[in-house]
Every structure is written in structure tokens, then in C-alpha cells.
Structure 1
Amino acid sequence: MCPRCNEDIEDWEHIWVCEANEFEIDELIRKSIYEVMDQQSQVLIGKKRFWELLRGVYNEKCEVVAELEKERGLEKRDLRKRKESPTKDDDDGIEIESNNKNKKTDEKEK
């Protein structure tokens, strides 16, 4: 008799189909995956395999974003933050590149 369900004879097939054993199998699988992920990484020295998984997820997301940018026709130069373009001051027609720089220059001239 099966010690878990006390209904059938315990044989190899019954061990895998026994409903009482189902939770133990799930737990065994989770525990095994955790043990593998908790091992030292061969790729990322000094890190665990969890980091390899996270790195893979991150890289995959980066590839998805790159593909979306490509579909939309965006290039790296389009994505960079640009400095504000110089504007003209209405009073004296001097181009303002940086507020602090021009304020000091204006004070010296007066």
C-alpha cells in the first residue's frame, strides 16, 4: 500500500500519479531549481546563478526595446538628450548659451 494515500499498491507508476504525492513532487522540483540557482556562477565570477538569470532577463528586455526603436526608426542620436539650443535675448540681441555665464559677462560690461 502507498504510505501517502493508502489506496493503491506503491509502484513506480503510482508514485508519479498519486495525488497525495503531487505536492511533494512540486516541492521537490522547486527545491531542485532553487538549489541549482543558488550555486556559484561559472560565467559571473563571485555571483550566484540567480544573477545569470537576471542578466538574461535584462538583456532580453534590452533587445526588445532595441527592436521597437528600430521599428520606429529611432537611432541612438535621436535618443540622446540634447543641450538647449541657444536663444536670443530680446533686449540686446546677445545669444544666451548659459544663464550664469552671460550674467557675469553682462555685469562686467555695465
Structure 2
Amino acid sequence: DEFDWNKTLQFISNRNIYTSWEIEKDDVWERSYKIKNFLKDLPTYEVLYKRDVNKIETDQCIRCKNGVEDWDHLWICETNELTIKEVLELSISKFEESLLKEEKHEKIKFLQNINFSFLKILYEKSEVLLGKEKYWELIRGVYNRKFNTLSKDKDEKEVINELWSFCFNALKKEFWNKRCNEVNEIEQSLGIKKLDKKVRKFIDRDMKCGDKSIEIKEKN
């Protein structure tokens, strides 16, 4: 199998951070994101439009206005400040900086030995996601078994896992979080409030249909 499903499921369910009996607010939000992201079901305009969400009149990207805002689009939208590859390469540098602050010199030494191999794996063509690189697997939270081949040492494997998670979170912050902030600003300028989007259009239609049926009964 191309993927390490044990690590993938542990990561998506946040078992790498919280134990099964712990329930934290951050855990709930993070787990919700990871699951929806894995299923490519984040609330993009395509998803909201299909769900008939109130005030959403199009599935087009509200930021670039140049195509449907589906899951794939949000990572490559022309309004993004950085590319996926740029974020990944910056992430390795930032991860090394975080290790330096913690004075984990052995981990830094190992990181410097494998950082190019780590990126090489990510830039390879995915054997499952046709036409896409392996970093698209990482974006969805799926752990490729090739990362397990970078070292047999337990501590070094931990560094690889930490780097992989660091990259995942960096991509989320750079693309999804920024996208949400930008979309909120645009929607506010258009007079669309968060509460508006909690109502579906069909509820309004059902109410109108209900009113009409009452009128018909009254006439009869």
C-alpha cells in the first residue's frame, strides 16, 4: 500500500496530540478541519452553493472571480501570496528555527541530512492522485509510506513525523486560514453576515410553499 494508514488515521483523528478520552475545544475544531479537509468537504463556495446556503448565489471563487472555488482551487488560487512549494520550503527553515530555539541540536543535524530527501518525496508524482504530486497527499493529511524509509531510527522517525505535521499546519495557515479571512472581509463588504449563511435557501422556499398551501386550503 502506498500510504501509512495507521499514521494517517492517528493524525486526522488528532490521536497524535490528544488521548481518546480528552475533549478540548481546539481538538474539536482541529479534528473537524482535518476530517473535512481529508474528504475535500471544506466549506468552499462550491460546497456552499451545492448545499443551497443562503446568500451564496454562485460557486465561483469570490477572491479571484476566475473559476469554481472547489477544494483544489483554494490551494492554487491566483490571489494566494505564496505557492505550495514555497510554503513547504519555508516550512523546513521555520521548523529548523523552532528546533534551534529548543536547542535540539541532534534533531537539527538529522533534519539537515534529510530535508532534500523529504522535499524530493513531496515533489514526486503521486501514484494514487493522478496528475498530482505527493504534496497533495500531505495537504489532505495522508502519510505516504516513503517517509518511513528516510530512517530506521525511532527518534529520527519522530523528527520526520514532526516535520510532516509542521508542513501540514503551515499549509493550512497559509492557504485555508488566509482564504477564510479574505472571504469574510469580502462578504462583509457585500453585506453577507455569518448568521445569513447558517440558513439554507430551501427553508425560505418551503415556508413560501407552506404559505401557498394554506392559502389554497382557505380558498377551498
When normalised by structure 1's length, the TM-score is 0.40
The structure that has the greater radius of gyration is 1
Q: TM-score, normalised by structure 2?
A: 0.22
